[in-house]
Chain A
Amino acid sequence: MTHPPSLKRRVLTLALAGMALIWVGTVIVTYFDAREELNEVLDAHLTQAAALLIAQTAHDIEEIEIEHARPLHKYSQRVAFQIWEAGQLRLHSANAPATPLASREQGFSDSTVEGQRWRVFSSRDASGKVLIHVAELAEVRDKLAREVAKNLLYPLLVALPLFAILLWLAVGRGLRPLASLTREVASREPDNLAPLPVGAAPAEVLPLIDRLNRLFERIAASIQNERRFTADAAHELRTPVAAIKAQAQVARGAQDTTERTHALDSVILGCDRAAHLIEQLLTLARLDSLQKSALESCELQTLAVEVIAEMTPLARQKNVQLELAEGETATVQALPGLLRILLRNLIDNAVRYSPAGTQVQVRVDRENSQPRISVSDNGPGIPVEERDKVPERFYRPLGTGEQGSGLGLSIVQRIAAIHGATLQLAAGEAGRGLRVTLLFPSGDTSSEHRRLE
């Protein structure tokens, strides 16, 4: 089981570990420092003791009656001396071994005699006959240094838990704004997207609140958009359903076959229309929730040929001539499936609003290296002042008698935006009809796997 990393625990661990590390470092340095100082002081004591012994022997070695000196202090057990004369051990302390304490005859040396480590100072008297070894157990020095270090460590053992408690409280207090933020967010109703109160939030938490508030804003806008779309969609479906119901009731009450057939045909037409509207709504909804996906290289001319072939039966049915004008080849980075939907919608619109016997022309070419595809018709066109409104959802041009879903250009607009292309509406050839142009960004075609924004 893994816990998410706790900020409090991390701060605490880091601070305590850092503190312990520094303290232990201090102890180690102090330990070595103390040892060195001790060495010097005690070495000095050794030389002093040796000097005293030499002075003593010079006067009257025989007068020293006791064979070995009595221990006068607890540490004196650790200090030993030997006085040698002509290879004979003349005098030594009780704790001194029988063998010489050092092989050296002058100065400091470290030796191990009978399993004990000694620090020895050796010296001869002025006559040179008497050799004196004054020694101290090395263990004493180590022990002293350790004592010093230990005395430093004890406060740490007390201070560390104390410090930990203080730190725990301080961090907890410092994180209180986060905790209250958490409570505030946790207790929210899912539809409450009001900004979080900035209040007395500290500088570290402010950016978080700020970002959260901005996120709430975006989500609110998106939900608003979705709600409006759902409402629009439901509203738009009411009319076709009303038409179907009304026509069905007319059919039921019809007096003669002609009237009934006409009404029933209208019912079927109404169903087709509602189905088309639903399909377009679904397309639009899918486009709205489209996630990032990879673009592919897409040859517009080829794509146009495919879609024109697909749409020709509809055009023939309306006696409209659908053709691909001579143009250039142009490759764009696109989602071919979406481009096909786009082109299908443009051609469908053009054919739908074209009078019988006229032409709908699709052309692929470039404008200043920008690939473009355009569809022109000879229909009624759209007045300049209304052109901005066309891509709005559920806009239908007036007086055409045609029953589109009002969504075609919304879909086209959305797909264009996905591709970074711009949609232009203008009058068609010779100022008649409508020409819808889709202008793609001048693609650098090398980046085959460019990803969508």
Chain B
Amino acid sequence: MRVLAVEDDALLGDAIQAGLKQAGFAVDWVKDGVAAQHALQAEPYAAVVLDLGLPRLSGLDVLQHLRARRDATPVLILTARDTVEDRIKGLDAGADDYLIKPFDMGELAARLRALVRRASGETAPVLCNGALALDPASHRITYLDQAIELSAKEFAVLQALMLNLDRVLTRTQIEAQLYAWGDEIESNTVEVHIHHLRRKLAPELIQTVRGVGYLMPRAQAD
């Protein structure tokens, strides 16, 4: 899952990027409000971690612009402002969650997962489709009650497909969820990951829509 971190503090931004990466996210990091706006317009993010006290354009402004564009990307506000009024203002401006500094990296990752899950309409923390189950928190996959070992990227592709059951994802859309800026993107990489997933799970789980992309059909209830 690709998220955008907006944080003007160099040390903290660096830590968020590294910590979320460890939690399996692909993270882009920008340091001011204007850069955040550009990034949000250019890339499809699964979620945004937003500091409020930003140079050039405040976090609240970024949020309001985002919502004004009818962009529903989940936004988690990460700030040192802890008064109830601040929190109310943030949530009313369109934030989905609010976390006060200093925070726990594990909690930040968990809240982001929850935000993404809710945004996709899922209610269970573990994504299920038939015999396939994906636990975003523990990065564990089970298929037909067997634990399946996947690489981080394979996991991310599978998660993207499972969050969009019965919807076609283009190669670019999948790529965008896999790589943060500066990550080296190998050619045919999505095809390779899909190939591996089919081999490790079952070929029929992921369908190819020729010339468009891939799709995971919702399993019929038994």
Contact = CB atoms under 8 A, between A and B. Distances in A.
Contacts of A235: 80-81
Given A239-B80, A239-B101, A399-B55, A246 B15 contact: yes
Interface stretch (A67-75, A116-124, A252-260, A314-322): A252-260
Interface stretch (A263-271, A303-311, A414-422): A263-271
B18 A239 contact: no
Interface residues of A, number: 29
B56 A246 contact: no
Interface string B1-29: 00000000111101110110010000000
Interface of B: 9-12, 14-16, 18-19, 22, 31-32, 55-56, 80-81, 100-106
Contact of B22 (A253, A266, A270, A398): A253
A120 to B, nearest CB: 108
Given A238-B80, A246-B15, A249-B19, A401 B10 contact: yes
B104 A241 contact: no
Contacts of B15: 243, 246-247, 249-250, 263, 266
Contacts of A371: none
Nearest to B34: A398
The 7 A-B pairs with the shortest beta carbon distances in the complex, nearest first, are A246-B15, A242-B101, A238-B80, A242-B102, A243-B12, A243-B11, A249-B105
Contacts of B101: 238-239, 241-242
A348 B80 CA distance: 27
Contact of B11 (A253, A254, A273, A398): A273
A241 B22 CA distance: 20
A253 B19 contact: yes
A250 B23 CA distance: 10
Interface of A: 235-236, 238-247, 249-250, 253-255, 259, 262-263, 266, 269-270, 273, 396, 398-399, 401, 403
A250 B102 CA distance: 14
Contacts of A253: 19, 22, 105
14 contacts: A235-B80, A236-B80, A238-B80, A238-B101, A239-B80, A245-B103, A246-B103, A250-B18, A250-B19, A250-B105, A253-B105, A254-B18, A259-B18, A266-B11
Contact of B19 (A236, A246, A262): A246
Nearest to B108: A246
Nearest to B11: A243
A7 to B, nearest CB: 49
Contacts of A245: 102-105
Contact of B56 (A254, A270, A398): A398
A259 B10 CA distance: 16
B11 A269 contact: yes
B10 A249 contact: no
B46 to A, nearest CB: 20
